Structure 1
Amino acid sequence: MKIVKYKYLCIILILFIVFIMISISLFAKYIFPNLLYQRTSFIYRTPDYYQWKYEDVIVQVDKEQTHGWYIPYEDSKCVVLFSHGNAGNIADRLESIGIFRKLGLSVLVYDYGGYGKSTGKPSEERCCKDALAMWTYLTQNKGYSPQNIVLFGRSLGGAVTADLATKVECAGVILESTFLSTIDVARDMFSWFPERFAKGNEFYTKKKLKEIKSPVLVIHSPQDTVIKYYHGKKIFELLECEKEFLEIIGDHNEGFIITGDKYINGLKDFIERVLNLSVRE
């Protein structure tokens, strides 16, 4: 009788372990990505909204298509490759793009897989491939020299930009309101958060920083409640390349607006230096 009870207990324990493993797998595959990638597909405005000339860009990434806008600034020899945050799509980034245009720069902004008009589904691998494909478009199709390209990434886009910056050398890199990893962000809210829950979407920025050779500007706000300030300070600390830190004010999604001239001038000073003042040409 005791042997039978023991067997039943073993079966229950095995089933429980299987249940836990399946639950973790399902969370990592479906729930966590949906929390991370808050994407929208409807493009409710284009650069026409501000009467800017632009070109639709479509590049092949594996068997999917990645869509973006190339927004040239007249007579500019330099361009910003813009990687946006986790929510919405490129239609939400026109105001940020306008800042770079005021500095005399062309911009290539794009959507990750599953965002806007880009097909497929987002993942860390896909986002990083999207960025590299757009870099290739700029250097091969548009003929930009790497030394005339500035990489910019905000929030999730900063993690994507950091990854790209380990693969290419460019004029400079701007990481704004970026995280050490998605796991660190999750653990800021839930200290018990297991690493397995983020499998395939960890975005370990902190492990890639030492590989970046180009100059980097790190931007972060102490009032950021989404990605806490220590992420930006630690990113800055871990970088071994030429680097600068710009402290802004305001929460995660409004800092660049509220900070105003200090933000714009911080970008201007960094960009003019790494591009050897060519933004004024």
Structure 2
Amino acid sequence: MLRLRRMLILILATFGSLYLVLCVAVFALQRSLLYPAPKGTPPLAEGDGFSRLPLEGGLFVDLFHLPAPPGAPTVVHFHGNGEEVLTQIGLGNLMQARGLGFLTVEYPGYGASPGRPTEEGIYAVAEAALAWLRAKGVSAEQTVLSGRSLGTGVAVEMARRGHGSRVMLVSPYTSIPDIGATAFPFLPVRLLARDRYDTASKAAAVKLPVLIIHGEEDTLIPVDMGRRLGTLFPQAVVETVAGAGHNDVLEDPGKVYRHRMASFALGEP
């Protein structure tokens, strides 16, 4: 009996140690999982809409800006965690063709921009980009905040800080810990998460009109998260896309939902 007890204690201790090691590994590596920045992007030459935004400490991020016609809104778009500024050109061109301005900013450690991405660091870059836009005469009332996937958390935080007049969220999440808990239910993700992007807790403070677009077959960020956010924002419209997943919700041949975003940004029905 004593031998069996010792064996059970040894087994439990081994599993406990392995579980602790797994938790430590997740804590240490979580930012590499959350920010899988595309590699190998060469430095972007200034011109054709591209410019460089200086940051503190000698750092910088790249911008892509298409000015708005006089009096028209500018869409400020924050991309997903597996994207970069270069992949936003098509969206920008469509917005410009619809009579809107467009601005997207790189994250630290993405593209050719140095540094490492963190929640607070990305917020700081977003603030700097919006200040750059203000200096060009674009007011908060003329600014439509937009985000996709990871970028939805950035857009909501900027809206909470009073930077825009409308908000567009493509494949949004309630919070990063919520996503982690869904993917790793056996880990204490809510205790381990360093970057939280807690959109659900901020939603009630965002009184602006909000458009939520979410693929019904999204296996990365469940569509139920988008639907739940629709109940938390005071002025939200939720549009789900049948048959669409996480990465193809805006990629249909007719670009229907990209045009839907443009119409919303223009204040059209």
Compared with structure 1, are the counterparts of its residues 265 and 202 closer, same or farther at alpha carbon in structure 2 (3 Å cutoff)? Answer: same
Compared with structure 1, are the counterparts of its residues 44 and 260 closer, same or farther at alpha carbon in structure 2 (3 Å cutoff)? Answer: farther
Q: CA deviation at 1:212?
A: 0.9
User: Corresponding residue for 1:86?
Assistant: 81
Residue 270, structure 1, aligned to residue 264, structure 2: yes
8 Å CA contact retained: 1:70, 1:107: yes
**Quick one: distance in 2 between partners of 1:208 and 1:182?**
13
Q: Secondary structure at the match of 2:246?
A: coil
- TM-score normalised by structure 2 residue count: 0.84
Structure 2 runs not aligned, ≥5 long: 1-8
1:169-184 to 2 correspondence within 5 Å?
Answer: 169-184=163-178
**Identity over the aligned pairs, expressed in percent?**
24
User: Corresponding residue for 1:38?
Assistant: 36
**Quick one: distance in 2 between partners of 1:158 and 1:259?**
24
**Quick one: distance in 2 between partners of 1:22 and 1:130?**
34
**Quick one: distance in 1 between partners of 2:118 and 2:146?**
19
Residue 125, structure 1, aligned to residue 120, structure 2: yes
Q: CA deviation at 1:236?
A: 0.8
User: Corresponding residue for 1:255?
Assistant: 249
Structure 1 runs not aligned, ≥5 long: 1-8
Task: Give the length in aligned residue pairs.
Answer: 261
| Structure 1 letter corresponding to 2:155 | T
| Structure 2 letter corresponding to 1:39 | A
Q: Secondary structure at the match of 1:218?
A: strand
**Quick one: distance in 1 between partners of 2:36 and 2:263?**
33
Q: CA deviation at 1:125?
A: 1.2
**Quick one: distance in 1 between partners of 2:63 and 2:194?**
24
User: Corresponding residue for 2:99?
Assistant: 104
Cα deviation per residue 1:170-197 (whole Å; 9 max; x = unaligned)? 2211011011112222222222231256
> 1:245 is matched with which residue: 232, 238, 247?
238
User: Corresponding residue for 1:3?
Assistant: none
- TM-score normalised by structure 1 residue count: 0.80
Q: Secondary structure at the match of 1:255?
A: coil
Q: Secondary structure at the match of 1:163?
A: helix
User: Corresponding residue for 1:24?
Assistant: 23
Compared with structure 1, are the counterparts of its residues 106 and 65 closer, same or farther at alpha carbon in structure 2 (3 Å cutoff)? Answer: same
Compared with structure 1, are the counterparts of its residues 219 and 132 closer, same or farther at alpha carbon in structure 2 (3 Å cutoff)? Answer: same
User: Corresponding residue for 2:67?
Assistant: 72
RMSD over aligned CA atoms reads: 3.2
Pick which of 67-76 and 148-157 moved more: 67-76
User: Corresponding residue for 1:143?
Assistant: 137
> 1:201 is matched with which residue: 192, 195, 199?
195
Compared with structure 1, are the counterparts of its residues 156 and 61 closer, same or farther at alpha carbon in structure 2 (3 Å cutoff)? Answer: farther
Q: CA deviation at 1:62?
A: 6.1
| Structure 2 letter corresponding to 1:108 | L
